Amino acid sequence: MQKKQPNMNLGAAVLFIIFSLLFFVLLFRFISIQITGEAAGQNLAAKAHQKYMKEMKIEAKRGTIYDRKGEVVAEDGVSYTLVAILDKSMTTNPNKPQHVVDPEMTARKLAKYIDLSEDEIYKRLTVKGKFQVEFGKAGRDLSYQTKKKIEELKLPGITFRREMKRFYPNGIFASHVVGFVEKEEDKKGNVKSVGKIGIEKALNSELTGKAGSVRFESDSWGILLPDGKEKIKPAKNGDDVYLTIDKKIQTFLEDALSKVDKEYNPAKIIAIVADPKTGEILAMGQRPTFNPETREGLGKSWYNEVVENAIEPGSTMKIFTLAAAIQENVFNPNEWYKSGSYRVTKNSPVIRDHNGSGWGTITYLEGIQRSSNVAVAKIVNEKLGFEKFREYLTKFGFDKPTGIDLPNEVTGKIKYDWPIEKITTAYGQGTTVTPIQLIQAAIAIANDGKMLKPHVIDKIVDSQTGKVIRETKPEVTGTPISKETAKKVRDILGTVVSSPKGTGYNRYNIKGYEVAGKTGTANIPGPNGKYLRGSNDYLFSFLGMAPKDNPELIMYVAVQQPEVGTYADGYKPVSKIFNTVMKSSLQYLNIKPVQQEKAVANLVPDVTGLSVEKATKILQAKGFDIVLTGKGKTIEAQLPSGNTTILEGEKIILKTEGDVTVPDMTGWSRRDVMKFAKIGGLQLNITGSGYVVNQKPNPGVFLKKGEYLIVHLEPPEKQTNNVIDQQSDEQNAVKD
């Protein structure tokens, strides 16, 4: 025992020394931390502050999109997503369960408020191993009213997640102009609303605000301390956008598009309404389209056809060929030419008029009215010149984008290498343009020669201060023609609608308003590059403006492959859109109808025995509408006969020697048809009433005395849109 004592003392001494050293190390460390406030290079005060400081995100509101008058088109609002908690561990107090206790009862009650069957809800509530479940589309975007009703059921485990949602209160409404947004998650896990097409995409950065935050001191459980400090960084809401779109006019357009789409089932419809004095787009729509809130229909219609797709314009292109010829002083409306067919060079394909045979020898004015390809070909090739015409294509902006404030604008392709391509470009075949390029070019015709850049954004406004950040002013993009030329073009385009010879006669006439415009029928290329040859395989269109002398509105409508009876009926769906929307819009804008002047009665001179040239000059000078038939050079007979009093503009049938040539009688009255049959000694068979829509034989055929002429007539209201006058009282009420 005596030997162990020294060893124990030695061990105790070693332990004492070790613990003493540890004590001094800890004391030194404590004093060091107290003095420096740091440990392991970390500021302890900051770390403690960080631990007990909590931060919550303040979500920014996306900017609102308005129409030109401040009507909401797209806005952010609160929606709720239904969530069911399934995990039993969430319940700590059996008397107050925090999870779904009775799935069967819960499913039965929820089925009354969401669009999901009771069985499907039950399946979701009984999934094994899930902490919580949602209910897909049926449980998303719930309104506050629906949320409140479900909360009143006091169903255990049923809760809601609050979210911001983009609302489009007008449904299908300029959908490709406005666009839509989708929720996307970035690399940091933050969910943001991102614009996908239209203005939502083009102005995504302006519409997207900046999120704010609130930081506060809390205890270890995250509860706000009574004397805790708060630091708030307010959210910056997105800017508001005002469009040039007019809600009323856009609604007129959407309604007309829907009716025609349902009645004619076309492959595609494109329509635009613009103010030619400012370049503002007042309405823009298409079919197929989609609902920006539900995305229904989006799979068929991603592209904005007005700016993202080029088309062959057809005869609407003749507007600009005519304008170039008048500007260069090479168009004589009273000059005669032979219609029917034309060859540019010896080796070029034959160019034919759309009826195949033409209308004999007619004036260039009548050629424009009848949309003669031969007239346009001769003007470009023999009078204007290919190089000069090409210059005007550039002046009218057809070889570059318009710069409209919508995304993904494309431009067409001008085919101008070979003589035949130069000719076909003049009447709208082969070369492609976009509908918005047509609108921009037509603004020059309507706006006294000044071409304006089209736009859909009126202004951008700070949503919190009301300050205007950006405002769009009218921008002149060129002056391709003079004021005088523009007026002459409008006057001629007016006769396309007002003259019985015009392709727009009894089709685009609007009671009380003078319309100037041009019809178009374009071929459609097939998948093999060749044109489709079906009876309805065309793009039927009309580019018009009103009132003619001082246009307030310009409108383009195109309908592709509508289900109509014959090729000749292709104008019907187009006119139903144009006439309805144009008239309703003019009345809404309080554009007063013109007073119709009384027709002047004139005494018909006797021109029998005179030469064709002399007789036509005499009658044209008095304002008569002349129809010449026969093969000879001297007038053999006339109806009405000489020294008869008739109204100005009434047809006078002049017959030369030989068999009569059947004219194009489209739009003729019964009285004029009877005059022609009488002077030619023909057997006449008339069906229907109103004006001629079909005839046999076709124009250009020679008939001998005693042969049959068959015509079918329809009233104007049946040929156009019979709802126009029915809506008159309603539109007057809107106007007042």
Catalytic site residues? Answer: 315
CA distance 6 to 15: 14
Closest CA to 364 of 338, 329, 328: 338
CA distance 183 to 189: 12
Paired strand residues for 654: 628, 638
Judge whether 489 and 326 are in contact, CB under 8 Å. yes
Judge whether 578 and 539 are in contact, CB under 8 Å. no
CA distance 525 to 531: 4
CA distance 105 to 158: 12
Backbone phi, psi, residue 696, to 5°: -140, 130
Q: DSSP code of 408?
A: T
The 3-state DSSP composition of the chain as helix, strand, coil percent (nearest 5) reads 35, 25, 40
Cβ atoms within 10 A of the Cβ of 77, count? 14
Show the 3-state SS of 76-93: EEEEEEEEEECCHHHCCC
CA distance 77 to 450: 43
Decide the pairing of beta strands 625-629 and 651-655. Answer: parallel
Backbone phi, psi, residue 21, to 5°: -60, -45
**Looking at this protein, which amino acid is placed at residue 165?**
K
Q: What one-character-per-residue DSSP string does 607-673 give?
A: -TTSBHHHHHHHHHHTTPEEEEESS-SB--EEESPTT-EEETT-EEEEE-SSSEEPP--TT-BHHHH
CA distance 284 to 282: 7
SS3 (DSSP) at 228:
coil
Decide the pairing of beta strands 468-471 and 457-461. Answer: antiparallel
